[in-house]
Amino acid sequence: MRTNGTGTQGSVDRRGLLKLVGGSTAALGLTAAGCGGGSGSDGGTVTIRYAWWGSDDRAKRINQTIELFEKKHPKIKVKTDFQPYLDFWKKFNTQASGGNPPDVFQNAVGFLRKYDAKNVLLDLGGQVEAGNLRMDGFRAGLDTFGEVDGRLLGVPVGSNSMALVIDEKVFGKAGITPRPGWTWEEFHAALAKIRDTQGRAGDSGMYGVMYLYDLHLRQHGKAFFTPKGLGFTEADLTDWWTKALQGVRAGTYSDPKKVSQVKPKAALSAGLSACEFTWDNFTIRYTSEGKSEYGLAPVPTTDGKRTGQYLGSLMLSASKRTKHPEEVARFIDFMVHDPEVATIMGYDRGVPATTAQYEAFKPTDPVNKKIAAYEQQLVDSGVLEQITPHPAGADIAEAAFLRIAEEMALGKSSVAEAVRQFFSESKTALGS
């Protein structure tokens, strides 16, 4: 098995959605049944516990896939545990600390090394060798996305990438057509033109979008994370946040107070801006929230070529304490390869990770067609790179970045104070 750095999912966007690739914080609880590190068997039937987070629509879809799995694998029963995002990780951390994590669970890159260091995650490589889990047929190198130091700790279920979501009507009226390879200078000129001709901010504010800042750093030969800590300096972040506040004062970025007031609605769909950076598979959110037409535009570049982009993914991981590793592996294999699963899930967790599922689901609605076309363009253009490994504690650093950036934008701290606070909290979280 090849060694490769792993990367995310995800945060819950800039106001909560970027926290995690393809996630949602909608509240719903399907109470788990069963207990113990691995669930027992009865009359030759094995029961495994499966936990995940997401919207209630995701829950309905996943329950349909579980019914399908149990129909095709009558000797394996699946008990479910569904929570909103924050509640999921709070409960999971308690379960993991008590030696009672679910047998299989939804995971994201920011948590791989954290729970690997806590000896929670099962290396699925042995199940691949045993023929219970196939790691062939994955799109665009996603087969290595869940590897840490040569061990397979997660299997991707879908893919997404950072993108610029635009209000197509506003951009059209302003006479702006974003094209691959456009530069940051051209991007900021476009924001100013939108402000001057359309009477609204160009962008909703980039200061708290950790994964966008990661791309910007990668365009300059750095990255947000290294395998052991942060990959940038206080001077780097000072420059980024200073320019962000300058954009707010100039009116090219939305007023942070107004952005905060319209939550949970996004600033873009609320009409406060003409674009914002987020994961491509979140585009459907704007269509459901807003009254305009929304599309995907290329990420600006520093040199006209390198975007720093990569495919991120939600994934499925297994507990090292499971008593049923073979059944868990077969469950994961089914969820990432079975074509019928793709027709049920659609793009709920991103574009399907395997070719079989990608070909099984052909979106018919305009939004999902745009998502598929956007990712295909990224693959065809050759701009995709490998994600930088996230160290243990990356999830805490990511949450701190979002929170501190928002406090700074609202005037609760200066740039200098915010930078010091972020580095202080991150060094504690990352142990560096």
User: pLDDT of the chain along its 432 residues, tens only?
Assistant: 333 333 333 333 333 333 333 333 333 333 333 333 444 555 689 999 999 998 888 999 999 999 999 999 999 999 999 998 889 999 999 999 999 999 999 999 989 999 999 999 999 999 999 999 999 999 988 999 999 999 999 999 999 999 999 999 999 999 999 999 999 999 999 999 999 999 999 999 988 999 999 999 999 999 999 988 999 999 999 999 999 999 999 999 999 999 999 998 999 999 999 999 999 988 888 988 999 999 999 999 999 999 999 998 899 999 999 999 999 999 999 999 999 999 999 998 999 999 999 999 999 989 889 999 999 999 999 999 988 889 999 999 999 999 999 999 999 999 999 999 999 999 999 987
Work out whether strand 158-159 and strand 273-279 pair parallel, antiparallel, or are unpaired: unpaired
Q: How far apart are CA 104 and CA 414, in angstroms?
A: 43
Say if 11 falls within a structural domain.
no
Q: Are residues 119 and 239 in the same domain?
A: no
Does 132 lie in the same domain as 213? no
Bond prior to 264 in cis (omega within 30° of 0)? yes
Residue 16 lies in a domain: no
Helix (H, G, I), strand (E, B) or coil at 19: strand
- Largest Cα separation within the chain, whole Å, is 72
Regarding whether 364 and 216 lie in a shared domain, the answer is: no
Question: Which structural domain, as residue segments, surrounds residue 142?
Answer: 41-159+312-381
pLDDT of residue 426: 97
Other C-beta atoms closer than 10 Å to the C-beta of 144 total: 19
Claim to verify: residue 67 and residue 96 sit in the same structural domain: yes
pLDDT at 69: 98
- Structure letter (DSSP) for residue 132: S
- The tens digit of pLDDT for each residue in 351-408 reads 999 999 999 999 998 988 999 999 999 999 999 998 888 999 999 999 999 999 999 9
Is residue 355 located within the same domain as residue 416?
A: no
At which residue do the structure tokens 């008593």 appear?
Answer: 323
Residues 6 or more apart whose Cβ sits within 8 Å of residue 3: 147, 149, 150
Could you tell me if 53 and 85 are in contact, meaning their C-beta atoms sit under 8 angstroms apart?
Answer: yes
Residue 131 sits in the same domain as residue 48: yes
Domain count, the chain: 2
Please report the DSSP string for 162-230 in residue order.
Answer: EEEEEEHHHHHHTT----TT-BHHHHHHHHHHHHHHHSSEEES--TT-HHHHHHHHHHTT--SB-SSSB
Q: How many residues does the chain have?
A: 432
Q: Which of 347, 363, 381 is the last residue of a domain?
A: 381
Out of 362, 381, 400, a domain closes at 381
CATH code of the domain in which 109 resides = 3.40.190.10
169 and 143 fall within a common domain? no
**pLDDT reported for residue 21:** 34
Query: Residue 155's closest CA among 164, 166, 144?
Result: 144
Confidence (pLDDT) at 180: 95
Question: How far is Cα 324 from Cα 375, in angstroms, rounded to an integer?
Answer: 36
Task: Tell me which residue of 413, 39, 356, 63 sits closest to 207, measured CA to CA.
Answer: 413
Domain shared by 403 and 258, yes or no: yes
| 267 shares its domain with 337 | no
Among the listed residues 381, 392, 312, the one whose alpha carbon sits nearest the alpha carbon of residue 353: 312
Shared domain check, 228 and 106: no
Any domain includes 121: yes
User: Residue for token digits 């007023």?
Assistant: 255
Query: What is the DSSP track for 251-274?
Result: TSB--HHHHHHTTTS-TTTTTSEE
pLDDT at 43: 62
Q: Same domain for 339 and 242?
A: no
Domain assignment present for residue 200? The answer is: yes
Q: Do 241 and 361 reside in the same domain of the chain?
A: no
Exposed/middle/buried for 249, CB within 10 Å: 0-12, 13-18, 19+? exposed
Task: Please tell me whether the overall predicted TM-score, pTM, comes out greater than 0.75 for this model.
Answer: yes
Question: Does residue 271 fall inside a structural domain?
Answer: yes
317 part of a folded domain: yes
Does a structural domain hold residue 425? yes
Residue ranges with strand state E in 248-402: 273-279, 294-297, 315-318, 351-352
What distance in Å separates the CA atoms of residue 299 and residue 216, rounded to the nearest whole number?
Answer: 10
* Residue 8 forms part of a structural domain: no
